[in-house]
Amino acid sequence: MDVRGKTVVVAGGAGSLGSVLVASLNERGARVASLDMRYSREFAPEVMAIQTDIADDAAVAAALRAIAADRGPIAALVNCAGLIHSEPLVSLTDPSQRRHRLATWEATIRANLTATFVLGAHVAELMASTRTKGVIISFSSIAAHGNPGQTAYAAAKAGIEAMTTVWARELGPLGIRAVAIAPGFVATDSTRSAMSESSLSDLKRRTPLLRLAKPEEIASAVAFAIENDFVTGTTIAVDGGLVL
């Protein structure tokens, strides 16, 4: 798919990584719309920005209607919205909190897996109803393979990879592709706030390339997934060779 002149929705566009994706797609000539719960980034004047909760069914429907009315049929969705959360299943050192909290489990699943389902389902319906051949890109993570201390986050990301496979098989006959991007650890504010410096240093040491990913390298993988019309039903790992 040539994105020039095509409407592309980026969920999580106000985040550290999302803002790079928005800028990259805008530079490629896409008609970009950002969905996010925050207005924390400056966008180019031509980028449409809507503040919304992408796990809220009614809010998503309204936001997508506004985008389609302003920009035309949606040809691509890039959903990089999410919440990184670390919490052990059982803690023997904290008597006040022995088990993983149900509240943080539910919040993490909602922000990652439920939000991906809600937004993806709405966009797929719009594409199908307008007979638009497009692509739905969802963000997984290297944690989907099982990162100790991230029960909820890993479960959500593994679920996203499973949904991607299902969507590719269901939607392929309609000309709609589904791809997941699974970054390793990316040099963003959210990564730094979720992990200690010692943990990050250890990850760099264990990564064959001895560093974190640059946001621009994730944007390059997204561009590939959009542009190659024979890529579907797969997860593209961008992890520097790291094995958890």
Q: Which residues are catalytic?
A: 153
- Give the neighbor-by-neighbor strand order of the sheet with 48-51: 48-51, 31-36, 7-11, 74-79, 135-139, 177-183, 234-238
Nearest CA among 118, 137, 136 for reference residue 63: 118
Which element (helix H / strand E) includes 154? helix 151-171
Written as six digits, the tokens of 42 are 């400056």
Instruction: Please give the single-letter amino acid code of residue 111.
Output: A
Specify whether the CB–CB gap between 126 and 68 falls below 8 A. yes
Write the DSSP string, 221-234: HHHHHHH-TT--SE
Specify whether the CB–CB gap between 157 and 197 falls below 8 A. no
The upper half-sphere exposure of residue 55, i.e. CA atoms within 13 Å in the direction of its Cβ, equals: 15
What Rg value do the Cα atoms of the chain yield, rounded?
A: 18
